[in-house]
């Protein structure tokens, strides 16, 4: 249990639970003042005793089997209440401030970030991304401490006074409290018990049944129509359009639907667009006559690829951009020139203003269009004042449809790679 005394994750979790101050500092001195996270070399926990850990200390939280440093963990906790796009933008800004002197903040995927925050705030006692402490097989430090207290031993605690050797003892009254705790179960313990259960033997047993493919006659009987069964088997996936998460983008999740589906631009911060600001994914329908003239295609709109599977990239048909290259950091192709060899780029700016130099340098693979500035007037009618938006929207859809046809989109199939 000696490892638990200075474990960064447990120190952070206990400080959060007690409401104690957690300060980024430029030294391990107890009187050191708080500094911005980009200048910090240590993370100081003020209670129950002064403990300062190097901010680049590796923790037991592993992302893709790689230990994550304390700075990234603390930053994710600070940004726990913001959406994924804003979190990624803040992390990119901090990495720019750190430069080459202080390491880099790791960006967590949606599921990893949710699991970490749930564990830090005490809503869950287990995490599939946190490795257990040495000698603590079930990963429950409080349980081990209570067990020692029940035997009359002095159980180590995170908040105890530490000597030069780094070891300490728990207050006997605190040990009694820990011993009286009732461990609450979470979804993992309810479904699988304390320890994960190995179900690999089920896979071997089911291989016999999974290897048998249904015959053509069974497919016919299932649907009653062989042609319908074939169409169901070859169901075309929905194409994906990626939006820019930048706050300077004219088109966001709040107003993209009214623009691409209704052919009207409405500012993203207007009252009429506020109902969609919390959406993380949208669907719009569009009839692509040169691909499928009989039924509209459903497009999926998202701001980032955080929840993408590898095969999703073959379904991306357009990327809206403001010209800021940090948008593509987590993309399959992070280099803009390489990205727009595979996917159509779309830049939407104000009519009469020149596109950014970065957009112009990416060449003809990025479609650059301009829309009229939005003017609010008590006498203006939105439908009559925004009539030129329809022309811009049709130009964008024509480019998207042409690009989709060249990549292999057909009435009943989608490309396997782009």
Domains of the chain: 2-192 (no CATH), 240-407 (3.40.50.11990)
The pLDDT assigned to 97 comes to 87
The pLDDT assigned to 400 comes to 94
Residues 6+ apart with CB under 8 A from 338: none
Using alpha carbons, select from 24, 90, 20, 84 the residue that is nearest to residue 52: 24
- The whole-model pTM stands at 0.45
Question: Torsion over CA of 163, 15, 98 and 249, rounded to 10 degrees?
Answer: 170
Q: Measure Cα distances from 91 to 33, 66, 75, 95, 102 in Å.
A: 23, 18, 8, 6, 14
Burial class (CB in 10 A: 0-12, 13-18, 19+), 241: buried
The pLDDT assigned to 323 comes to 92
The pLDDT assigned to 192 comes to 56
Mean pLDDT per block of 10 residues along the chain (418 residues) reads 68 88 86 86 80 90 90 92 89 85 83 88 84 64 40 37 42 72 65 62 75 49 50 73 92 90 85 53 91 91 89 93 92 92 94 92 91 71 74 94 92 85
DSSP 387: T
Q: What is the DSSP string of 186-218?
A: -HHHHHH-SS----HHHHHHHHHHHTPPPPHHH
The pLDDT assigned to 274 comes to 45
- Ramachandran bin of 193, using left for φ above 0, alpha for ψ from -120 to 50, beta for the remaining angles: left
The pLDDT assigned to 187 comes to 62
DSSP 399: H
Would you say 323 and 356 are in contact if contact means Cβ atoms under 8 Å apart?
yes
Using alpha carbons, select from 249, 283, 284 the residue that is nearest to residue 269: 249
> What element of type H or E holds 240?
strand 240-242
Residue with token string 């040495």: 134
Residues 6+ apart with CB under 8 A from 149: 155, 170, 172, 175, 176, 178, 179
DSSP 363: G
Using alpha carbons, select from 281, 314, 311 the residue that is nearest to residue 299: 281
């Amino acid at each position: 249990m000696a490892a638990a005394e200075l474990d960064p994750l447990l120190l952070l979790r206990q400080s959060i639970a007690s409401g104690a101050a957690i300060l980024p500092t430029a030294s391990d001195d107890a009187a050191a003042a708080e500094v911005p996270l980009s200048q910090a070399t240590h993370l100081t926990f003020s209670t129950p005793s002064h403990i300062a850990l190097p901010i680049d200390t590796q923790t037991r939280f592993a992302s893709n089997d790689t230990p994550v440093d304390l700075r990234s963990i603390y930053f994710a906790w600070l940004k726990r209440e913001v959406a994924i796009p804003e979190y990624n933008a803040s992390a990119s800004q901090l990495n720019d401030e750190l430069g080459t002197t202080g390491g880099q903040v790791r960006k967590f995927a949606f599921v990893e970030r949710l699991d970490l925050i749930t564990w830090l705030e005490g809503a869950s006692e287990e995490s599939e991304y946190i490795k257990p402490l040495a000698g603590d097989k079930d990963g429950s430090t409080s349980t081990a401490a209570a067990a020692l207290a029940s035997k009359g031993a002095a159980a180590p605690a995170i908040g105890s006074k530490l000597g030069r050797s780094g070891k300490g003892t728990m207050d006997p009254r605190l040990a009694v409290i820990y011993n009286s705790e009732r461990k609450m179960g979470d979804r993992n313990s309810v479904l699988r018990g304390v320890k994960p259960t190995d179900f690999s033997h089920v896979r071997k047993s089911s291989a016999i049944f999974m290897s048998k493919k249904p015959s053509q006659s069974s497919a016919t009987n299932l649907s009653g129509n062989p042609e319908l069964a074939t169409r169901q088997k070859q169901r075309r996936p929905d194409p994906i359009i990626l939006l820019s998460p930048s706050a300077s983008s004219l088109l966001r999740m709040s107003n993209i639907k009214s623009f691409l589906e209704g052919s009207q631009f409405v500012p993203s911060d207007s009252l009429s667009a506020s109902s969609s600001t919390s959406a993380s994914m949208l669907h719009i329908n569009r009839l692509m006559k040169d691909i499928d003239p009989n039924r509209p295609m459903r497009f999926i709109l998202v701001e980032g690829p955080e929840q993408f599977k590898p095969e999703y990239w073959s379904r991306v048909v357009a990327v809206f951009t403001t010209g800021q290259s940090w948008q593509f950091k987590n993309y399959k192709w992070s280099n803009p020139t390489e990205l727009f060899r595979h996917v159509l780029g779309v830049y939407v700016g104000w009519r009469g203003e020149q596109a950014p130099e970065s957009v112009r340098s990416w060449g003809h693979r990025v479609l650059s269009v301009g829309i009229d500035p939005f003017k609010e007037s008590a006498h203006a009618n939105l439908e009559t004042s925004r009539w030129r938006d329809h022309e811009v929207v049709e130009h964008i859809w024509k480019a998207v449809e042409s690009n989709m046809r060249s990549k292999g989109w057909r009435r009943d199939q989608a490309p396997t790679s782009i």
